[in-house]
Structure 1
């Protein structure tokens, strides 16, 4: 009886830790956008809606592939992108970009454009349970000029051992002018250490 319990326990642990693989990028996106899978997090603070999405390596690889790639090309791209962690942060108010909510105030508009384009390294942070800060490698703020329902940015961090060895990471967003205080997201590192993959 005890032997059977041990075998069943081992099977459950093995299947729960196995890497999920998807036939298409659409299926993978559906999976990571399901809150129960812990890749996406949402909060609303003072009327501002926040959505934070962790993007697995193969999403980035897929975006760069054209045609039918060879196994060597896929491995090369995976090695390139897996060195980093990628987070997409979306912020909106009244289902609009943040800038759309201050458009009539030229001074605030200019200050927020400057903040979003050049100052997010001071506003957005990723750190371990021991409060070790992970230095941001890069971030991208594409101007949408009011054509999108949210201000969406990509943040890139190095995949350091102190990240992968921790139980969770904390991602924080400081005040950019439409809300007060700091918004925090607690992210389990198991989603980074056991990322879903694509069949290329």
Structure 2
């Protein structure tokens, strides 16, 4: 009798484990994006300081794979792209003041405007930092700042870091954005490394 109960319990736990694993696989990009945007899932972080809104969102490997695949659903190609993109961590950082791009807030001050343009276009590796609780710093691989010339309601930057296994075993990682001249002070997000390790996927 005890053996039967144990077997049933084991089966139930196995089913729950499989279901929990499946819950992070999505049929469409839209459903995956909805999941990513819920802050309690560990992929989307928000802060507002001095009327500046910061939104940091992780972009999982499969979103980048989907973007490059287009209509091609060749399994070998999917695996090849997953291996390529999975070497890195990709983040989108969105910043806005009064629902406008950051440059709009300093457009009347030539010195501040010029400094911010320079920081956004060329100096974000000096302004954004990712480090462990013990202060070990990850070097930024790349960042992309598409200048929108006032046509967007936020300043958006894609930031890329290496997916270093040594750092991914930490309980969390600190993502810090230094003050960009808007009197916000440094903005810090505590990233959930467990969520990054178990990132959601698309069912191709």
The 1:170–1:16 alpha-carbon spacing in structure 2 relative to 1, beyond 3 Å, is farther
Could you tell me which runs of 5 or more consecutive residues in structure 1 were left unpaired when the two chains were aligned: none
The 1:16–1:57 alpha-carbon spacing in structure 2 relative to 1, beyond 3 Å, is same
The 1:7–1:179 alpha-carbon spacing in structure 2 relative to 1, beyond 3 Å, is farther
In 2, are the aligned partners of 1:50 and 1:89 still within 8 Å (CA)? yes
User: Which stretch of the first structure deviates more once superposed, 98-107 or 49-58?
Assistant: 98-107
> CA–CA distance in 1 between the matches of 2:172 and 2:40?
16
The 1:46–1:169 alpha-carbon spacing in structure 2 relative to 1, beyond 3 Å, is same
TM (norm. structure 1) is 0.93
The 1:27–1:196 alpha-carbon spacing in structure 2 relative to 1, beyond 3 Å, is same
In 2, are the aligned partners of 1:128 and 1:166 still within 8 Å (CA)? yes
Are residue 117 (structure 1) and residue 121 (structure 2) matched? yes
RMSD: 2.0
Corresponding residue number in structure 2 for 1:168: 172
1:190 Cα deviation from its structure 2 partner:
1.2
For residues 16-59 of structure 1, give each alpha carbon's deviation from its aligned partner in whole angstroms, at most 9, with x where no partner exists: 76251111111111110111211100001111110000111001
Select 1:183's aligned residue among 163, 182, 187: 187
1:7 Cα deviation from its structure 2 partner:
3.3
1:81 Cα deviation from its structure 2 partner:
0.2
SS of the equivalent of 2:80 reads helix
TM (norm. structure 2) is 0.91
> CA–CA distance in 2 between the matches of 1:17 and 1:162?
26
> CA–CA distance in 2 between the matches of 1:11 and 1:154?
38
Are residue 7 (structure 1) and residue 10 (structure 2) matched? yes
1:108 Cα deviation from its structure 2 partner:
1.2
- Aligned positions, number: 200
Are residue 21 (structure 1) and residue 25 (structure 2) matched? yes
User: Which stretch of the first structure deviates more once superposed, 68-77 or 8-17?
Assistant: 8-17
SS of the equivalent of 2:112 reads helix
1:69 Cα deviation from its structure 2 partner:
2.3
Q: Whose Rg is larger? A: 2
> CA–CA distance in 1 between the matches of 2:84 and 2:51?
38
1:15 Cα deviation from its structure 2 partner:
4.8
Could you tell me which runs of 5 or more consecutive residues in structure 2 were left unpaired when the two chains were aligned: none
SS of the equivalent of 2:62 reads helix
